[in-house]
Amino acid sequence: MKSLQVVSLTLLLAVAASAQVLKFGKCPKPAVQADFDATRYIGKWYEIQKLPTAFQKGECGTATYSLKSPGVVGVLNSELLNDGTVNSIVGSAKVKDPAEPAKLEVSFFENSPPGPYWVLSTDYEGHTLVYGCTDFGLFHMELSWILSREPTLPEETVEELHGILSSVGVKVNKMVPTNQEKTYCAAMDE
């Protein structure tokens, strides 16, 4: 038990230092998008807000999804770093259980364990709300993104999506906006 406490404390300190959202207790089990259709989900999405992560440091974030095969979505995430370079990573998201197609597991490295990518809400044409949570003993780490087909999203839509997150205990005041200002993000299109 003592080693679990040491590991949990070490993890807590490491994650706290990287500004990720770590909370006491087990992951919540939010409802996901009913009848999720990956073919309607493919294409480019702009990041509007996110919970802070250690692996995303830039602005102008986008996610481009492609259908690789039934139940497998190709993922290309890109962002503009402070030095003006574009940082991109390629991965894939797989449906774990065909009965719950909105619960995907995303992986970016060949031998790394996949992480949860749950689509909580999407209208396919305007917005999507993504949530992931991983248990670490006494704690859990949450990830969440609000994405849009356009670089902006109406405030009332953001508030509606915040309501979904709040209902499962996500502290939406921790969400940070992503700069999608056209002139700033122009390097992403080059």
The burial of 183, by beta-carbon neighbours within 10 Å (0-12 exposed, 13-18 middle, 19 or more buried), is given as exposed
pLDDT at 189: 73
pTM of the model: 0.86
The domain spans of the chain are 2-189
DSSP structural state of residue 18: T
Q: Is a pLDDT exceeding 70 seen at residue 63?
A: yes
Answer whether residue 3 shows pLDDT above 50. Answer: no
CB-based contact 162:153 (threshold 8 Å): no
Question: pLDDT grade, residue 20 (50/70/90)?
Answer: low
Which of these CATH numbers, 3.40.50.1220, 2.40.128.20, 1.10.3720.10, 2.60.40.420, describes 2-189?
Answer: 2.40.128.20
Q: What is the pLDDT of residues 66-89, one digit of tens each?
A: 999 988 999 999 999 988 899 999
Taking CA 171 as the corner, what is the angle to CA 57 and CA 87, rounded to the nearest 5 degrees?
15
Residue 1 — very low, low, confident or very high, per pLDDT cuts 50/70/90?
very low
**pLDDT > 70 in the chain, percent:** 88
> Residues 108, 117: contact at Cβ < 8 Å?
no
Which residues contact residue 7 at a Cβ distance below 8 angstroms, ignoring those fewer than 6 apart?
137
Q: How far is CA 62 from CA 10, 16, 28, 116, 153, in A?
A: 32, 25, 26, 18, 14
Task: Work out the pLDDT band at 7, boundaries 50, 70, 90.
Answer: very low
Backbone angles phi, psi at 15, to 5 degrees: -70, -40
Euclidean distance between CA atoms 66 and 98, whole angstroms: 18
